[in-house]
């Protein structure tokens, strides 16, 4: 669905953007690829079975990189003022604006930036562990859950862009030298951020997804650590000023809804053909 939408979006933008027809064609090919490869005997003979299950995850990175460029091309108005109003109505204040100044201790600030940065570790490490174990049912389940969460977020961002608190109230540079993880987070923002992707928080939706599949595929202690990590990442998105509190709340609700409702619905047709996905809900 995401590839089909992107193909249409670039097709509409073709008269204004050089290379847009090629991007549209690439997405159309990507949309058809699963059906083409499904019956490709040469692929089944040559490609590792686990890679055949996990390759769609590369689409998360590619779509993320493309979102900012597509937003600039389409020039849709941002909805930050509306989200800011909802945030104040729900919480009474903007928590991201008052929490940091109320608790400016260097140890807490650096800890929160570490938790924010640990989002990347939470996405990569559990997925690599699942891949290393070699269970195709687990790899297929994790791939489906991550793709469902991120692609639905990306589709929402494409029609309802929100830049986040920094667009309204830019974070002031602290008087002290930024510590390690604060520097890493700011460097990541400068090099890989896509504008218009603040609401709902994909950081929070992503770690909720990891915690969700952690309950199924890991032991009790590992699953508990992932759940605690998801909570800490959620808090860190607000403390660091990268998201409104309502962004984090919406990200958590989004992640839960996708895992509890959308994934079982998507898995059911595959499960009817004998796939282990019918046990992944």
pLDDT on residue 124: 92
pLDDT on residue 271: 44
Please count the other Cβ atoms lying within 10 Å of the Cβ belonging to residue 192: 11
Residue 27 located in a structural domain:
no
Q: Omega before 20 cis (within 30°)?
A: no
Residue 9 located in a structural domain:
no
Residue 61 located in a structural domain:
no
Contact 141, 276 (CB under 8 A): yes
pTM of the model: 0.80
pLDDT on residue 182: 84
pLDDT, one tens digit per residue, over 39-88 is 555 455 445 556 667 667 777 777 777 776 666 666 678 899 999 999 99
pLDDT on residue 45: 47
pLDDT on residue 234: 97
Nearest to 242 by CA among 188, 178, 176: 188
- Which domain, by its residues, includes 110? 77-279
Residue 119 located in a structural domain:
yes
The domain total for the chain is 1
Mean pLDDT of the residues in the chain: 79
Extract the residue ranges of the chain whose pLDDT is less than 70.
1-52, 54-55, 68-75, 169-178, 190, 192, 269-281
- For the chain, state the CA radius of gyration: 20
pLDDT, one tens digit per residue, over 120-153 is 999 999 999 998 888 888 999 999 999 999 999 9
Residue 170 located in a structural domain:
yes
pLDDT on residue 135: 86
pLDDT on residue 202: 94
Residue 99 located in a structural domain:
yes
């Amino acid at each position: 669905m995401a590839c089909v939408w992107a193909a249409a979006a670039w097709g509409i933008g073709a008269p204004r953007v050089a290379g847009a027809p090629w991007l549209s064609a690439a997405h159309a090919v990507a949309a058809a690829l699963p059906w083409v490869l499904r019956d490709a005997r040469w692929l089944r003979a040559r490609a590792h079975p686990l890679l055949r299950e996990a390759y769609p995850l590369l689409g998360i990175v590619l779509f993320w990189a493309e979102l900012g460029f597509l937003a600039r091309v389409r020039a849709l108005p941002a909805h930050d003022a509306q989200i800011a109003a909802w945030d104040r109505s729900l919480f009474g204040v903007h928590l991201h604006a008052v929490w940091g100044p109320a608790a400016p201790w260097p140890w807490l600030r650096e800890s929160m930036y570490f938790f924010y940065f640990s989002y990347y570790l939470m996405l990569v490490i559990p997925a690599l562990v699942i891949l290393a174990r070699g269970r195709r049912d687990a790899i297929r389940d994790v791939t489906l859950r991550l793709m469902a969460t991120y692609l639905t977020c990306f589709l929402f961002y494409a029609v309802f862009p929100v830049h986040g608190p920094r667009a309204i109230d830019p974070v002031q540079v602290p008087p002290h030298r930024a510590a390690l993880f604060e520097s890493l987070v700011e460097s990541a923002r400068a090099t890989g951020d896509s504008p218009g992707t603040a609401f709902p928080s994909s950081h929070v939706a992503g770690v909720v997804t990891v915690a969700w599949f952690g309950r199924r595929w890991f032991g009790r202690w590992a699953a508990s650590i992932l759940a605690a990590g998801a909570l800490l990442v959620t808090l860190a998105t607000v403390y660091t000023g990268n998201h409104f509190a309502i962004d984090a709340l919406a990200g958590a609700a989004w992640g839960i809804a996708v895992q509890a409702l959308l994934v079982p619905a998507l898995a059911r047709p595959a499960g009817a053909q004998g796939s282990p996905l019918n046990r992944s809900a």
